[in-house]
Structure 1
Amino acid sequence: MSIMFGIPQVVVLSRVKHPHIVKLIGVCPESCGLVYEYLPNGTLMDGLSKGLPWKDRIRILSEQRSALAHLHSSRPHAIIHADLKLTNILLDAGNVSRLGDFGTARVVQMKPLEEDTICRRTNPMGTMGYMDPVFFTTGELTAESDVYAFGVVILQVLTGLLDLNIVEQVQEAMKMDAVHGLLDASAGTWPEVQAERLMRLALRCCNLERNRRPAATSDADWRSLDILRTMATACPPRITPPTLLRD
């Protein structure tokens, strides 16, 4: 796959190597294009529309949390994707995910001897519905901006809803104790208790106070996702019993 040449993408992807980040194969200066690995199963949005099973959805979320943690822990500069969304998560033939489209990505200088990132001031960019409201109003881009977008992605993956106000919808369902009815039935039978815990974590990602959002690099914050991933791995595939033939 090739797309129009983008300097930020070349700079970022030349530095990044991770199994769940799209691979940059090469650059074609003559056509001003970048050549990426071919991922035949389209985007995560395509997968959701086809009723992707919950076990695959949880695995993909775990893969993408790993990709974000890798970007945010990069040294000496953290990498902020700045446009995480369903259509920028691509799937290979086995539905293994890759984070793509680094056209809006930015590198951010790390504070000396600290884990926190210094924000980078830039014009608001990204996709409405996924964009960190703090970034939109202040122009201050940080790793927490990616975490906000990832929270929206989690809610979409769990519910199958694509509305721009999905955060408000889930918050209202929480107040009415109607969370279970939001889980996307096309994904199969969810482990409801753990799925609700992950949904609550996603709402934390979307908190308007950045310091209350979980860090992508903190394993402790993502325990509910890890538990669901373990459950998905442990669940044996459903085997259809053979049909008995009568003489």
Structure 2
Amino acid sequence: MFTSLAGRSVIVTGGSRGIGKGIARVFADAGASVLIVGRDLGVAQAAADEIGASAVAADISTVDGCRAVAEAAVERHGGIDVLCANAGIFPDRKLADLTEADVDEVFGTNVKGTIFAVQACTAALAASGHGRVILTSSITGPITGYPGWSHYGASKAAQLGFLRTAALELAPAKITVNAVLPGNVLTEGLNVLGEDYQRVMEASIPLRRLGTVEEIGNTCLFLATDEAAFITGQTIVVDGGQTLPETLEAIATA
């Protein structure tokens, strides 16, 4: 039986929808005091009301936005025990069409948003005595590629470069830094692409189904427990085996 996380203060950036909302729900169901962070306060508050959390609007691509989030968590919940740096954007753009603005936008949220969120929360995480930082990276970039997502993949790989040094620097303060790398997960965004797309994606996964946002959340929950205190600087792939086969034939003949 894992140590209860009831009453612990948890921040989930990008928690208004998708994987972030799933992470927030899992922590809220475990009794944690969850702060959902989103750009649109109305959307973030609706998600918070649904799962029993609180919400704040902030642009986490900026230092000031991240500091405001950390201050809100300390003010509302008395500190910060867990930071789930989940916020990420993935606009589709082929390499030939990429502009400087496209790259800046993706790196602003996905990389700067991660770095500055961790920086802003470090003092409170250290004060908790069991601080946890959990990044939402992706299999895309660190392990695989996908046409149209070269800038996204680069940003997700960059998160892991940051993770390893951050884990070293924050270890003396008893703060662990780890990442989850989701594969294809069923979210609102995927629903929009239709059933045919979903069937094709399911066929590429050995377990023959897409992941759920709660399954990503449960992995994050484990990394936040006292029992995971000796795990830092690590990545956990949560993809139903998607990155295992060399070809689709390998799945068909299994």
Shorter-chain TM-score above 0.5: no
| Bigger share in helix | 2
**Higher radius of gyration, 1 or 2:** 1
Normalised TM-score (structure 2): 0.26
